[in-house]
Amino acid sequence: MAAPKKARKPTKSTRSRLPKKAAPRKAKAPAKFKPTKLPAVVATAPAEVISTRVPDTLEAGRVDKVLAQLLEGVSRSRVQKALDLHLVKVNGVVADRRTVVQIGDAISLSLPEQEEPTARAIKMPIEVLFEDAHLIAINKPAGLLTHPVQGSDEVSVVHGLLHYTKGKLAPAGGAPRPGVVHRLDRETSGVIVLAKTDKAYHALVSQFAERVAQKEYLALVDKTPRLLSGLCEAKIDRHRTVRVRMAVREDGRDASTEWRVEEKYGAQAALVRAFPHTGRTHQIRVHLAHLGHPILGDRTYGKFDTPFYTEWPMPRVMLHAHRLTLTHPHTGKPLVISVEPPADFKALQTWLTQKYTKKVYSSTN
């Protein structure tokens, strides 16, 4: 067997053909910095310009703290980001985090667009009223959001149900709102339904849009209505100056709420059953306030921070989603889901009865 040939040493001629080691490039000197008028953080396009005034229901304070109280669903950290981006003005002057605002100050704010939040599963107590393979109905406690909102890490019904159902909520609702076919305000308690499948989602959304689903609410209102029942048909849209509120406006969207008195507590309060035939934001709250009977505890549409109401046990907007009647999206049969008001609602009823007596006009069932 022939011995392997030894590798030849490179000669002068072969060395010239070998690749040369590249010399390191010299780093370029950085371009001269040119100052601009842009803030240090790059902002995305503003989502909406909001104009408001500091109401007399709030105390003077730092602008970020006051705005976080005024803007429902907007976190203080998101307001601070807007301040850092120079998107907040107080009385026409650009504000920063140190700016203190007073009652009556005019504030304009541009909230930058941000990515929609993605809901995650979180374990929490859930009172299930009805459940099958197509939908789930629960008793939403007061103080809990229906779904995640931009700029806030607050938990919601969606967070809890993603854990309870092991993620089986209709994806058609989108990442932040899977299964959500209707909403309840944060402070409203009672029946809320979410879809588990996309087929059920689209069927239920259609029922709410076409007013097939029937909603019944119980509300404790200020003073006693002169009539025992009625129909409020008053158009609703955003308040012209306080953008976080809704208002009755001639150029608004059609809104209709039927109502009837079920109990009177002297001349000071009443239990009203409301049947909203449309689904405008804050509709029942706005309509009852428009009739002169704001819901007890509703400090957005009523004035309850006065000495007269100091002892009244009304920690929230006393509104409860009592009953929901709809057509089951799979069987086509009527489905009625109801739940009685929570302890705080009943405690106020008892207190009003003891203080002002009670007269019953119709059954609450």
Which pLDDT value is given to residue 13? 44
Catalytic residues: 185
Dump pLDDT digits (tens) for 224-238: 999 999 999 999 998
pLDDT of residue 114: 54
Neighbours of 246 (CB within 10 A): 22
SS3 25: coil
CA separation, residue 302 to residues 174, 225, 340 (Å)? 35, 15, 25
Give the count of beta carbons closer than 10 Å to the beta carbon of residue 153: 9
Three-point CA angle 181, 185, 186, nearest 5°: 115
| Residues of the chain falling short of pLDDT 70 | 1-48, 72-75, 112-117, 151, 243, 363-365
pLDDT at site 28? 41
Residue indicated by tokens 């003005």: 89
Q: Beta strand 319-327 with 189-195: parallel, antiparallel or unpaired?
A: parallel
The CATH number of the structural domain formed by 211-365 is: 3.30.2350.10
Q: Quick check: 324 and 213 in contact, CB under 8 A?
A: yes
Report field, pTM of the whole predicted structure over 0.85: no
The pair phi, psi for residue 50, each rounded to 5°, is -110, 130
What pLDDT score does 365 carry? 54
Inter-CA distances, 235 with 221, 275, 291, 345, 354, Å: 21, 16, 13, 29, 38
Amino acid letter, residue 294: P
Single-letter amino acid, residue 330: H
Topology of domain 115-210 in CATH is Pseudouridine synthase (3.30.2350)
∠294-358-291 over CA atoms, to 5°? 20
What tokens appear for 202 in the block? 């689209």
End-to-end Cα separation, the chain, in angstroms: 106
pLDDT of residue 22: 46
- From CA 107, how far away is CA 343, in angstroms rounded? 38
Within the chain, all domains assigned CATH 3.30.2350.10 are found at 115-210, 211-365
Q: What local confidence, expressed as pLDDT, does residue 142 receive?
A: 97
164 token code pair: 């309870």
Coil, helix or strand at residue 63: helix
> How far is it, in rounded angstroms, from Cα 194 to Cα 161?
9
Q: Please report where in the chains the tokens 């985090």 appear, as a residue.
A: 97
DSSP letter, residue 145: B
How many contiguous H segments (helices) and E segments (strands) does the chain have?
7, 18
* DSSP code per residue over 155-196: -BHHHHHHHHTTT-S-GGG-TTSTTB-S---TT-EEEEEEES
Residues of the chain with CATH 3.10.290.10: 46-112
Helix (H, G, I), strand (E, B) or coil at 209: helix
CATH of 46-112, one of 3.50.50.60, 3.40.50.1980, 3.10.290.10, 3.40.50.300: 3.10.290.10
Round to whole Å and give the CA distance between 320 and 339.
9
Amino acid at the residue 49: V
**For residue 254, how far is the Cα from the chain centroid?**
22
